[in-house]
Structure 1
Amino acid sequence: MGLKWIDIPPVWLAGHLAALWLGRDTGPQVTGRVWDVLGTALIAGGLLLMAGAVAVMVAARTTPIPHQAPAALVTGGPFRLSRNPIYLGDALVLTGAVAWTGAVWGVILVPLFVAIVTRRFIRAEEDRLAVAFGDAFHAWAARTRRWI
């Protein structure tokens, strides 16, 4: 089995959040209530988006766990707006944490996280969906953006 069980997006998100937290006092800072409110709102929105997407997947009796075969093509709920609402929620949480900590340098973590998740998870997941659901996947992918 190796370490594949640990190569999951929440671990990557936790790593990025840990790096942000450890470096939160490094470099220029933005401060003020607006950043606290913005950060909190983005974190809450990201968590709600993730929870909503997982709920839709569970209702469709398919797995939200990467590296596993999908049992259904989920195109409703938040999947109408993004092919990857859980990862989008992760990115919103990270963006919110950057705003909340005020660490300006942390902005670089967001596109880094997006690139890692796209390369390590999304491409393989989309390949599995294309094989499993063929034309239905391709039609959904053509009308729904990968991120937003």
Structure 2
Amino acid sequence: MKRIDLPPVWLAFCALGVWLSRGILTAGTAVTVGIGTALIVLGLVMMAIAVLTMARRHTTVIPHREPSALVSHGIFAWSRNPIYLADAIVLVGLCLRWQAPLGLLLVPVFIWWIARHFIVAEEARLRAAFGTAFAHYVQRTRRWL
């Protein structure tokens, strides 16, 4: 069976870790649950906007594929990786929603793994495909926020 190596799989794996950590140390109120829900919705909306923006430019959202366009406008003007940022926001939201503060330890691990395992290679492909245009984009837009 072929291993599915996609960011949503890693997000689901971390979300499972958050869910499993729920009973170890609990903290939260109706306010934190509400904030968590809002963060989950925000992350999902960000993902949808980023995917639609990429679809309009006819380029792939699949990390291991070659890009056909450099998307640097809209949500991509304030983050080079809005989908990964949205994933991290959803993960924080799940920690708050499920009242699992220990799960917050998975957020920097997730960010590190995504950056190391996906972003570095994606940026190399973008640099090779778009050269100077990508270099200018990197200068004006941060990787995360």
1:11 corresponding residue in structure 2: 9
Matched, 1:103 2:111: no
Matched, 1:66 2:63: yes
1:26 corresponding residue in structure 2: 24
Name the count of aligned residue pairs. 145
CA distance in 1, matches of 2:129, 2:122: 10
CA distance in 2, matches of 1:22, 1:107: 12
CA distance in 2, matches of 1:110, 1:82: 18
Q: Which stretch shifts more, 94-103 or 124-133?
A: 94-103
1:51 to 36, 48, 53: 48
Name stretches of at least 5 consecutive residues in structure 2 with no aligned partner. none
User: Residue type matched to 2:12 in 1?
Assistant: A
Q: 1:10-40: CA deviations, max 9, x gaps?
A: 000000001111221112x212111111100
Would you identify which runs of 4 or more consecutive aligned residues in structure 1 move more than 6 Å? none
SS across alignment from 2:111: helix
TM-score by structure 2 length? Answer: 0.97
- Offset at 1:68? 0.1
Q: Percent identity?
A: 50
2:118 to 118, 121, 124: 121
2:88 to 84, 88, 91: 91
- Offset at 1:2? 4.2
CA distance in 2, matches of 1:110, 1:63: 25
